[in-house]
Structure 1
Amino acid sequence: MHFLELRHAQCEPPAAYSPVLESYGDVQTVLLGTDPLPAHRRFDAVIVMGGPMGVGDQGEVEWLASEIEYIRDLVESDVPVWGVCLGSQLLAAALGARVYTGAVPEVGVEEITLTVEGRQDPVWGGLPSTFPAMQWHSDTFDIPNGAVRLAGSAKYPNQLFR
């Protein structure tokens, strides 16, 4: 398999996800702001990582808008896209959902609770119904039309969608 990793900061790699991805195939990493996005869309899946910026920073971070368009094109081409942290916000924006600053920051280890749909999900359903996750954000998103909410926290109910 051939995976694409979109990375927003050198210090924010897929970490524990890397050995899993590499066990299934080749991973091509693009460091946004440094490397160009690949012209082709021939990937088996794409993972979009986190970063210190937000969707609302498109005026200051020149490549964010083109990345959102790139993600939209991937989805429209039926390429699976997995967004982590900022990546989930970018995916939500690419699918037409509102991304905005929440009421309070969520920093530290917080409990995430799977929804009924999350507990039945083939990827996430094997986790406990509540589990700890590292959080460091104040942005959030609405669930895109046609998507299913899979998990949330007390401060941010939209943490995970399919």
Structure 2
Amino acid sequence: MRPPRSAIAIRHVAFEDLGLLAPIMERAGWSVSFCDAPVDDLADRAIRDADLLIVLGGPIGVYETETYPFLSTEIALLEQRLRRGLPTLGICLGAQLMAQALGGRVFPGKVKEIGWGPVELTADGKSSCLRNLHSKVLHWHGDTFDLPRGAVRLAANADYENQAFAYGRNALALQFHLEADPRQLEEWYVGHAIELSAAKVSISELRAATHALARPVAVQAEQVFGDWLLSIAPGDSVLGSSAGG
């Protein structure tokens, strides 16, 4: 029997975790452990060499390295992994950190994007693991990034042209929260209460939209993440610009 492959998920706040991705990874034979970025040693070799690294979201900016010094270590970690072609998944803040690690610029966007909304796939996106992205996705960000050199844009929408990108065959960055479990978003409403209030987002309306989309978003998470996990090749250091399928 094949031993489980090891994945490490980097968290920035406890409630933004793997969500829907956790059971998908378990069924795919992955053993997952967590690292909390603000307090754990991000330079640990086990993190650097993990079969898969997942960098999750959080309510801070990539450029706030003086306030949150661990971000610099996290960026350096991602630079090493992406240079080696090791499987890496970034979600929201994680995607922005990947963009920074690849030389892209991360900066405040023109609008705060919070709530369920569409993305449109590029031609490359339609031939990637995102081809099964048919429902709305959860947006929850105010920052954005320039597409890094060598990366392939996979998705965009009216407000932000860079919603997802691939880098080589083993790296995927998602600005949106495909992993968000509708059943766990009550924790987000509390944890991000100040941000939601400042953005004038109605929690009751967001809750209703979440309830209505619970089934389709779970199905598309299973399809997209399932396809991507099948496509990555731990230990394969061959780089190249592709849609990352």
Name the CA distance, whole Å, in 2 between partners of 1:80 and 1:66.
18
The structure having more radius of gyration, on CA atoms, is 2
- 1:76-115 equivalent positions in 2, closer than 5 A: 76-115=83-122
Query: Considering only aligned residues, what root-mean-square deviation do their CA atoms show, in Å?
Result: 1.1
- Answer 1 or 2: higher relative contact order, Cα 8 Å, separation at least 6: 2
1:31 aligns with 2:40: no
Partner of 2:16: 12
User: Which letter maps to 1:39?
Assistant: R
Partner of 2:7: 3
User: How many residues are aligned here?
Assistant: 159
Contact 1:110 1:153 in 2 (8 A): no
SS of match in other structure, 2:57: coil
Contact 1:151 1:159 in 2 (8 A): yes
Q: CA deviation at 1:22?
A: 2.1
Identity over aligned pairs, percent: 37
Partner of 1:151: 155
Name the CA distance, whole Å, in 2 between partners of 1:153 and 1:7.
26
Q: 1:59 to 1:32 in 2, by over 3 A?
A: same
Scaled by the length of structure 1, the TM-score of the pair is 0.93
Q: CA deviation at 1:42?
A: 2.6
Q: CA deviation at 1:112?
A: 1.0
Q: CA deviation at 1:56?
A: 1.7
Partner of 2:185: none
Q: Which runs of 5+ in 1 are unaligned?
A: none
Name the CA distance, whole Å, in 2 between partners of 1:43 and 1:21.
15
Partner of 2:201: none
Structure number with the higher helix fraction is 2
User: Which letter maps to 1:16?
Assistant: L
Partner of 2:61: 54
SS of match in other structure, 1:70: helix
Post-superposition Cα deviations, 1:106-138, rounded to whole Å, max 9, x if no partner, equal: 1111211111110111x212223xx31111111
Stretch deviating more after TM superposition (106-115 or 89-98): 106-115
Name the CA distance, whole Å, in 2 between partners of 1:110 and 1:155.
11
Contact 1:3 1:21 in 2 (8 A): no
Post-superposition Cα deviations, 1:78-97, rounded to whole Å, max 9, x if no partner, equal: 21111000000000000000
Post-superposition Cα deviations, 1:47-95, rounded to whole Å, max 9, x if no partner, equal: 1100011112112111001100011111122211110000000000000
1:124 aligns with 2:162: no
User: Which letter maps to 2:71?
Assistant: L
Scaled by the length of structure 2, the TM-score of the pair is 0.63
* Misfit runs of 4+, over 4 Å: none
Contact 1:110 1:133 in 2 (8 A): yes
Structure number with the higher strand fraction is 1
Q: CA deviation at 1:105?
A: 0.9
